[in-house]
Chain A
Amino acid sequence: MLRFIVQRLLQLIPILLGLFVLLFAWLRALPGGPAQAALGERATPEAIAQYNELFGLDEPLYVQYLRFLGRAVTLDFGNSTQYGRPVTEVFLERFPGTIELTLFAMIFAIGVGIPLGYFAARRHGSVFDSASVVGSLLGVAIPVFFLAYLLRLLFAVELGWLPGSGRQDVRIDATRITNFYVLDGLLTREWDAAFDAFLHLILPAIALGTIPLAIIVRITRASVLDVVNEDYVRTANAKGLAMATVRRRHIVRNALLPVSTTIGLQTGLLLSGAVLTETVFAFGGVGLALRDAITYRDFAVLQGFILLLAVVYVLVNLLVDISYGLLDPRVRVR
């Protein structure tokens, strides 16, 4: 198992290097290059030359790339033009929000999706089954940000049941330790702060969780239907095991294997969805910062955030692979 993990980690290196080349080339390929991007469209040629000299942009490309690599490894992506602070600092401050949101979205999707998919399969062909199939198709076809707006309009604006923007009521003077607002509230025993942060998470998490929910329902349903017809299920039934035991030990356990893959995949993809959801709910995570970076053409933030998110995504996928190896011994042997 250890060899499997080390092997996987080593295989990460070329991919990360390639990713770095891509994003390095990206900033250079922008019209006017990084200088123009940083100084704006009306920068004089002198200012650009000065900027290039200052940041070593007049040196050969490979020198620049090595330097970029060196800085990237130490997580130095320069300063954001919007915030005037190091990109990494902004990222670290914002990332807990996105993790919190992603986590809750995933809990929602898994908690609702697996039971729904399972019962749809058990009542195969029933109205409930058809409804879940149609629902899961719709869930994938709805643009995430539109769903987010609808939820916000209905539950926050019209009904006023839940907060519709931000991560916490600004009137609450909460102590920050980890920047995970719910966790902070629990750690400092500021229960009202934790609860308020939780309320702020509900609508965004539902909006963000809809696509994975739809996909989890579909995969669970299909996978349970597959497993039910397997020989070992028939054998288990034939040897007289109680139906509940067969379901628990043979059907559910085997059916959840493809589901776990899907869950891993979706967790990575939620990082993209977070950009849209956070924008709608003005939820101060990484996604909102990325949107602002697009609007204000803050290239340092764009480059740094995309690189960091890609690294996170790659690592999440790695974890999924490893956990898959744990769940399914066949993968390890290959």
Chain B
Amino acid sequence: MTAVGDVRRRRIDELAAKAGAIPEGDGGLSLTRSAIRRLRRDPVAIIGAVIVVVFLVVAAFAPLLAPKDPVTQYLLSEIRPGLIPGPQEGFPLGVDNLGRDLLSRLIYGSRQSLMIGVVSTVLGLVVGMTLGVLAGAFGGWVDTVVMRFVDIILSIPGLLMAITVSVLLGQNQYSLMIAIAVVQVPVFARLLRGSMLAQRGSDYAVAAQALGVKKGRIVFGHVLPNSLSPVIVQATLSLATAIIEAAALSFLGLGDPDIARPEWGAMLANAQDFLSVRPWLAIWPALCIIVVALGFTLLGERLREALDPKFRR
């Protein structure tokens, strides 16, 4: 139908169509149940899940786990140009360039980083799904208008879009979240719409229509619940992208300026200036970002396979 980024859109739509082809779960099990059963037997999915849970626990209990206060400055007398104290008694990972305990900052940073990831993804999910349901349920001109709008957003490369929004809204943590969410909206919208279109023609939807079930009930009671799986998979994968994207925006100077809230992306960006003095200042937050992103990616990929009939054994 449309021209620009047709390929990119087609890929999203293919994913949607694929999920739309899922039959009822095997052996009387619901789709969700059988997917969960397969995930529990999948070592890779378990690794992903464990990583995610560990980081969530660390984030939740940060004040109990962190040995020091993340913003208090220690060892100031030992910090000189070209010298930042490394690991020592009381500071397992050493301190940063302002003498703050690195381990405690990493632990507290998990809160901010995960929150940015989760909030922006949920925001993108809610707006994207609303648009997707509008387009998928009403069709016709509503569909055209919504999808054109989505296509325009999709025609700007993600990071540039995030920069635009971030500059517009000013420099704070909320604008960071909104900027990342905006990038995700079109993906969710297209995915859900495609998936719903695939479901609308399915036998049970036609049957419900023939039985005289109201349109609203068909959409919300039948079509929508069955269209959700690719969206859930995408949301899991998006969490990883969101956290990396937040780091990139921080690096470009569009991050959260509040120093009372340590965040991995900002820590990493800040540590670049001291890379030749103490590379570990950058490596630790980078490792946290990589591991947590990997956790979400593994979980998401395996979730996709668990929900995809092609991979059923």
* Nearest B residue (CB) for A290: B163
A29 touches B168 (CB 8 A): yes
A317 touches B8 (CB 8 A): yes
| Distance between Cα atoms of A18 and B150 in the complex (Å) | 10
Stretch at the interface among B60-68, B103-111, B185-193, B247-255: B247-255
**Residue among B157, B265, B290 making CB contact with A268, cutoff 8 Å:** B157
The answer to whether the Cβ of B240 comes within 8 Å of any Cβ in the partner chain is yes
A294 touches B155 (CB 8 A): no
* B163 contacts across to A, CB distance below 8 A: 275, 290, 294, 302, 306
Stretch at the interface among B29-37, B72-80, B195-203, B292-300: B292-300
* B279 contacts across to A, CB distance below 8 A: 153
* Nearest A residue (CB) for B170: A31
A265 touches B293 (CB 8 A): no
**Residue among B156, B265, B298 making CB contact with A137, cutoff 8 Å:** B298
Known A18-B149, A26-B164, A153-B279; contact A141-B293, beta-carbon cutoff 8 A: yes
Which B1-55 residues sit within 8 Å CB-CB of chain A? 2-8, 11
The answer to whether the Cβ of B303 comes within 8 Å of any Cβ in the partner chain is no
Known A31-B170, A291-B252; contact A310-B155, beta-carbon cutoff 8 A: yes
B168 touches A149 (CB 8 A): no
| Distance between Cα atoms of A265 and B66 in the complex (Å) | 43
Stretch at the interface among A4-12, A58-66, A179-187: A4-12
Listed residue (B152, B158, B253) with the most chain A CB atoms within 10 angstroms of its CB: B152
Known A18-B149, A291-B252, A310-B155; contact A265-B282, beta-carbon cutoff 8 A: no
The answer to whether the Cβ of A245 comes within 8 Å of any Cβ in the partner chain is no
* B276 contacts across to A, CB distance below 8 A: 153, 157
Closest Cβ of chain A to B155, distance in Å, is 5
B4 touches A294 (CB 8 A): no
A11 touches B244 (CB 8 A): no
| Distance between Cα atoms of A23 and B240 in the complex (Å) | 28
| Distance between Cα atoms of A318 and B9 in the complex (Å) | 12
* A143 contacts across to B, CB distance below 8 A: 244, 247-248, 251, 265, 268, 286, 289-290
* Nearest A residue (CB) for B157: A272
* B157 contacts across to A, CB distance below 8 A: 268-269, 271-272, 309-310, 313
* Nearest A residue (CB) for B153: A22
Which A6-46 residues sit within 8 Å CB-CB of chain B? 7-12, 14-15, 18-19, 22-23, 26, 29-31
The answer to whether the Cβ of A279 comes within 8 Å of any Cβ in the partner chain is yes
Which B122-159 residues sit within 8 Å CB-CB of chain A? 148-149, 151-152, 155-159
Known A143-B289, A306-B164; contact A12-B3, beta-carbon cutoff 8 A: yes
The answer to whether the Cβ of A114 comes within 8 Å of any Cβ in the partner chain is no
The answer to whether the Cβ of A273 comes within 8 Å of any Cβ in the partner chain is yes
The answer to whether the Cβ of A295 comes within 8 Å of any Cβ in the partner chain is yes
B7 touches A320 (CB 8 A): yes
| Distance between Cα atoms of A14 and B149 in the complex (Å) | 10
* B252 contacts across to A, CB distance below 8 A: 275-276, 279, 291, 294
B244 touches A317 (CB 8 A): no
The answer to whether the Cβ of A314 comes within 8 Å of any Cβ in the partner chain is yes
The answer to whether the Cβ of B213 comes within 8 Å of any Cβ in the partner chain is no
The answer to whether the Cβ of B272 comes within 8 Å of any Cβ in the partner chain is yes
* Nearest B residue (CB) for A142: B290
A142 touches B286 (CB 8 A): yes
* A153 contacts across to B, CB distance below 8 A: 275-276, 279
Residues of A within 8 A of B (CB): 7-12, 14-15, 18-19, 22-23, 26, 29-31, 137-138, 140-146, 149, 153, 157, 261, 264-265, 268-269, 271-273, 275-276, 279-280, 290-291, 294-295, 297, 299, 302, 306, 309-310, 313-314, 317-318, 320-321, 324
Residues of B within 8 A of A (CB): 2-8, 11, 148-149, 151-152, 155-160, 163-164, 167-168, 170, 240, 244, 247-248, 251-254, 265, 268-269, 272, 275-276, 279, 282, 286, 289-290, 293-294, 297-298
Given contacts A143-B265, A146-B268, A153-B275, 8 further A-B contacts (CB under 8 A): A23-B164, A140-B297, A143-B286, A153-B276, A275-B163, A276-B251, A314-B155, A317-B155
